[in-house]
Amino acid sequence: MYSRPRLIPCLSIQDRGLVKTTKFTNPRYLGDPINAVKIFNGKGVDELCILDITATSENRGPDFEYLKDIASEAFMPLSYGGGITTLSEIEKLFYIGYEKAIINTSFVTKPELIKEAVEFAGSQSIVVSIDVKNELFGKKSCYINDGKTKVKHDPVTLAKRAEELGAGELLLNSISYDGTMKGYDLDLVKDVSESVSIPVIACGGAKDIYDFKRVLEDGKAHAAAAGSMYVYYGAKKAVLITAPEEQELIDIGIYKQN
């Protein structure tokens, strides 16, 4: 038996297309998300995170019709974030086959939604997403509204608040590292992970499985999510939907024998 920290492909969607951003900007179209899901089915990934990156800034809710199509093809647990503002939307998300709802903007603008959602579904199904940008002089600022609106609280303060409201997990995403494939912001991940008792999923910057190992061990993350390394191949970033082999993860010690 092996202990297996979760390694999660994070797929960004825009206008029903699979895209990848760099620092939350310049989305590059990569193809059909459903085709990517079908490929991941055969790769044995732990779970899949779907993020609609323009739902909130376009002032619309989740595209349930399309999300249902995605869920119908997925063999692994699914989480979804983007444009969630009401409990009824969360209920519908679970009804069509998603296990977790990811909430970012509404966590700040209507925190009572987190409490309501936890009462309805349990903390294990409610994830708060915290998007962080590195500013001048080492300051780390948090953003909502698809990374467009700065909020006054720092990442640790928001993480503690999410835990107080009952969220079961945090998705900690570095805007500054997103799509750069230069490794995770280990200081950010460690600071947040050590400030709360709920699991922290690190996202933003992973290039390879060694980055997974670093963020899990040095960053104290509970799980590692990534976008680019699951959809790109090589220095020129050719589009290739892929995932690490289990033996690779055993060989470098991410999966450890109990």
pLDDT in tens, 10-23: 999 999 999 999 99
pLDDT tens-place string over residues 120-171: 999 999 999 999 999 998 899 999 999 999 999 999 999 999 999 999 999 9
Tokens, residue 29: 């179209």
* Burial annotation 204-219 (CB, 10 A radius, 16+ → b, else e): bbbbebebbbbbbeeb
Provide, rounded to the nearest whole percent, the portion of the chain with pLDDT above 70: 100
Q: What is the pLDDT of residue 54?
A: 96
pLDDT tens-digit profile of 45-64? 989 999 999 999 999 999 99
Reply yes or no on whether 131 is catalytic: yes
- What residue segments make up the domains of the chain, in order of their start? 2-257
Tell me which residue of 144, 162, 130 sits closest to 55, measured CA to CA.
144
Q: CATH code for 2-257?
A: 3.20.20.70
**pLDDT score, position 235:** 84
Per-residue model confidence (pLDDT) at position 46: 87
pLDDT at 98: 98
Q: What angle do CA 56, 116, 148 make, to 5 degrees?
A: 20
**In the block, residue with structure tokens 């709802």:** 101
Does 177 have pLDDT greater than 80? yes
User: For 187-233, how does the pLDDT look when each residue is reduced to its tens digit (9 = 90+)?
Assistant: 999 999 999 999 999 999 999 999 999 999 999 999 999 999 999 99
Name the DSSP class of 226.
E
Active-site residue, from 46, 63, 131, 218: 131
Mean pLDDT of 238-251: 95
Q: How confident is the model at residue 68 (pLDDT cuts 50, 70, 90)?
A: very high
